[in-house]
Structure 1
């Protein structure tokens, strides 16, 4: 039996994803009194709570945490918040926004009908809306090399979203695949725990944490880099595929020098 038109609820705007991006959009829509709903597959900010390792810190200074109506208000603007501090900051943002959210809802399909209206199929029924905001993030699906399937079952494997601390791993040498932010910081975490680590590097570039007394992020901010749109960037759409420079905010912030680790 098909779904009747009268049973489909129409909402002006549907936001997919209840992270900081989705809640920021909700904040601005509420300012304009625009009706909307946020669909979150798990719970608000769940990835920050469940998919970050114990020693995780921001890699950008605290002052750059400037969500709408909720700037960083701590006493260490040049520092780097730890995981639990980040969760607290984001939870206080959610408490301020009070978004109209439905947690535990999966959005299965979005299509445009003949009237130009979006049909949104979810795990709790069908909806229609005039606008859809996809705020599910760019890194929500773990990327696992296909070669992993060919490795023997006796070889312990885990993805970075599962990693918490060195004690999770059995004794022996650890191979970390990927040298982006996660790979480099997890390799450092294992190295500091006196584990022997082999890091399979990619094309992520190294960067100095500070230059002439200023953090690299402050230099980029003053240069106006964060105001450059994709259309204005020399690489255009290709910039989306670029890997971020690896650096860490651990222990007050420092650069990660892979050549030093290799010694």
Structure 2
């Protein structure tokens, strides 16, 4: 039985895989893209109904195609985002094969390349690009046992308030997902508790410019001026309801009960960490840092952006912030559902190669892995903070495609 051979095989047909395909095609590299479901499937099936992009349409796109039928300042809904990537794949004639799952990748013996076992047979590829992105496997702490008899679901399985049981809800995690879900649930009349840990809280917009614009203008996408920052901190910014700053005081004043980091569970009672006020205060500090840097940039460049004094004002501290709840009896609080908005982790079990460190994390530099011929794309901080965003993944893919072409020159070189 013949085995299909290809220079480069891209695993994943989301934003990273489509961007990779474009640059490989422009550089004349024969390749295929394998997607186990449908292009950009996670946007359709693993996100809640009201989700929108975290950046405006003018920014959250690839350079080669603008969004049609939507304002550049609008935040595209999830289905429109998925349609955009399908449209882009058609435009560039990306060789995407949907419904094909990559089951294993292992290095060939005695010759270059890899044996790729898929649900539709074996493919041999000189290079393999893992473009499966940062949102592979939902994770949440093993705190509340099934015996607690409360409905538990990860944010990737949350669709809308109607799927939840009657009663109050505890949302754990206060990044973009958790804060938006909590607000949506509260607006339906539910009693909502929101567990807030460490987070980074920038303004959605300031002085007439969206935060995505400020990231570029202030050099924050590239992070040339390195600042110490905490790892694994929730990113509290959202395009929800046309885009507004995530403000935990505002959420509290609309009736959401803020609690600290969820710590433990015993006999029907959840314990929360102390430090809620500090975490909210640290988020405020990050917010004001952006405002100060933006003001300095405007003054330095003589820009006619109108002042926004209201942005500097904070709402009064709510009671749940000044007198935090440290323990919560689920039955007494009538909490029947816990939504874990606690993020995702990687799943590279199918990559049987030496491309990982002792902790099982990808070992790479700018996506070029420790295993020659294996590449990673779309991961957080692959190059900089833009790398897991639509804007950044396109540029990272260009660098990797160039590296693949350069290595191909070495591989095929023949001395005159």
Give the TM-score category using the shorter length: 0.7 to 0.9
Question: Is 1:157 matched with 2:149?
Answer: no
Q: Distance in 2 between matches of 1:71 and 1:233?
A: 31
Residue 252 (structure 2) aligns with = 262
Contact 1:16 1:39 in 2 (8 A): yes
In structure 2, do the counterparts of structure 1 residues 75 and 82 end up closer, same or farther at CA, with 3 Å as the change threshold? closer
Moved over 4 A (4+): none
- Indicate if the aligned counterparts of 1:180 and 1:202 stay in contact, CA closer than 8 A: no
Q: 2:71 aligns to what SS in structure 1?
A: coil
Q: CA deviation at 1:154?
A: 2.7
Output the aligned Cα RMSD: 2.2
CA deviations on 1:107-155 (whole Å, 9 max, x unpaired) are 122222342322212222222111111110111211132224x132631
| 1:12 to partner: Cα distance | 0.2
Which whole-Å CA distance do the structure 1 matches of 2:177 and 2:64 have between them?
29
Question: How far has the Cα of 1:185 moved from its partner?
Answer: 1.2
1:58 and 2:48 correspond: no
Aligned counterparts of 1:23 and 1:139: Cα–Cα separation in 2: 16
Cα deviations across residues 138-177 of structure 1 (Å, max 9, x unaligned)?
A: 11211132224x1326311111111111111111110111
Tell me if structure 2 keeps the 8 A contact 1:40–1:102: yes
Shift of 1:14: 0.1
After superposition, residues 221-240 of structure 1 pair within 5 angstroms as: 221-228=216-223, 234=226
Checking the alignment, whether the CA contact within 8 Å between 2:53 and 2:60 is kept in structure 1 is no
1:252 matched residue in structure 2: 242
Secondary structure of 2:82's partner?
helix
Q: How does 1:1-263 map to 2 (within 5 A)?
A: 7-114=2-109, 115-148=111-144, 150-152=145-147, 154-228=149-223, 234=226, 241-263=231-253
Q: 1:101 to 1:88 in 2, by over 3 A?
A: closer
The more displaced of 70-79 and 27-36 is 70-79
Q: What's the CA shift for 1:71?
A: 2.9
Q: Which runs of 5+ in 1 are unaligned?
A: 1-5
Partner deviation per Cα, 1:210-249 (whole Å, 9 max, x = no partner) = 2223222211111232234xxx57379x88x443521221
Aligned to 1:3: none
Asked which structure has the greater CA Rg, the reply is 2
CA distance in 2, matches of 1:80, 1:221: 18
Q: Is the 8 A contact 2:8 2:125 kept in 1?
A: yes
